[in-house]
Amino acid sequence: MGKSIMITSFKGGVGKSTISVNLAIGFAVSKYKVLIIDIDASSGSIDLFMGCESDTIYNFCDVIEGKVKIEDAVYVKKSTFNPNKKNNVSNNQNNLNNLNNSTVPNRSSESEEQLYYSVDVLKSPSSYDLTKFSDEEISDFIKKAKETYDFIIFDCPSGRFPFFDSLAKHTDYIFVITLHSAASIRSSEKMALFLSEKGNEGEKVRLIINCFNPKGISRGLNLGIVDIIERSKIKLIGLIEINNMLRDYQELGKTAYDVRTRKLRRFFDDIVGRVLESNIILSRKYDGIKTNNLYFKKEIKDTNRI
């Protein structure tokens, strides 16, 4: 039976879609069968971020309404890398080479590893009236999807939407995304409160700090990781450092798993590993954390640590 993950935040532009796409592929390269669902009707971007605009006519609503089966509504995003071919040069390679040199990984010093993956994508409708979906319909949809997929990821629009409560209730995990800023962290705490009023709390709700900025901590501009972990009402499941390469590649429809540098994908790999219940400690030494600290180790019983 699969697991479903809702990716949400009250604030917009905090990296929900970026994280949804990269986690989906992270699970897929670990050989899990993955479905990613774009439910952001007004500004869905999954297809752009994955470089796979499709002419599929069906969307998420059509499946819920029973017009079509999930397997007939999805389109498949495969990595450009084909393990059976010798010369794997992607179509976007020229564009990548044209990027400002400072943002392109130095290939000679990077791992030559490229990863093969396949992810099913269910697109968002261009407009909808989601109020018509009942709690039962959302629950049935998730149950059905879990029969086929190991992981189902819902990339949500920011804030609440008509079936927010049902989705939160019926998914296995809710990942609340925050930027590394006091205002965004406060907004996540409000989200946690709101979710707990609806019965979603404990292990189910996790925090991901996106655009984490270690230099800002050293300069006294941003809250330290230890402070966030200890003050947060939501258990942390991972962080993703701010990295302009991630944004630049995304503009070309490339994810952290489509480029040769491992630097971009290690944060997503860590989160995937933690969902799969491995012991994965913070891979870097941040201010206030010594390499032998046990943050993110499962044995820690402390409420704010995994």
Residue ranges in contact with ligand ATP by CB under 6 A: 12-18, 40, 43, 45, 157-158, 210-211, 240, 242-244, 246-247, 250
The interface region with Mg ion, picked from 16-24, 86-94, 177-185, 295-303 by CB under 5 A, is 16-24
Using CA atoms, how far apart are residues 104 and 138, in angstroms rounded to an integer? 42
> Which residue lies nearer to Mg ion by CB, 222 or 250?
250
Closest listed residue to residue 134, CA positions, set 42, 65, 58: 65
What residues between 43 and 72 interact with Mg ion by CB under 5 A?
Answer: none
> Which residue lies nearer to Mg ion by CB, 26 or 157?
157
* Residue 66 binds: one of ligand ATP, Mg ion, none (C-beta under 5 to 8 A by kind): none
Using CA atoms, how far apart are residues 223 and 208, in angstroms rounded to an integer? 14
Closest approach of ligand ATP to the CB of residue 16, in Å: 4
The interface region with Mg ion, picked from 9-17, 59-67, 78-86, 177-185 by CB under 5 A, is 9-17
- Compute φ and ψ for 46, nearest 5 degrees: -55, -45
Our finding on whether 16 is near Mg ion (CB under 5 A) is yes
Q: How far is CA 287 from CA 219, 225, 292, in A?
A: 11, 8, 13
> Which residue lies nearer to Mg ion by CB, 16 or 123?
16
Closest approach of ligand ATP to the CB of residue 159, in Å: 8
* Residue 243 binds: one of Mg ion, ligand ATP, none (C-beta under 5 to 8 A by kind): ligand ATP
User: Computed from CA positions of residues 141, 145, 150, 155, in that sequence, does the dihedral angle turn out positive or negative?
Assistant: negative
* Number of chain positions touching Mg ion (CB under 5 A): 2
**DSSP bridge pairs for 174:** 6, 205
Name the amino acid, one letter, at 202.
G
> Which residue lies nearer to ligand ATP by CB, 183 or 300?
183
The total number of residues shown for the chain amounts to 306
* Residue 139 binds: one of ligand ATP, Mg ion, none (C-beta under 5 to 8 A by kind): none
Name the amino acid, one letter, at 238.
G
DSSP state of 124: P
Q: Among all chains, which residue has been given the structure tokens 């010594």?
A: 290
Q: In what order do the strands lie in the sheet with 3-8?
A: 75-78, 118-122, 34-38, 151-155, 3-8, 173-179, 205-212, 235-241
> Which residue lies nearer to ligand ATP by CB, 14 or 306?
14
Using CA atoms, how far apart are residues 37 and 161, in angstroms rounded to an integer? 15
Return the residue of 17, 79, 124, 181 that touches Mg ion, per CB under 5 A: 17
Closest approach of ligand ATP to the CB of residue 87, in Å: 29
The residue ranges that bind Mg ion (CB under 5 A) are: 16-17
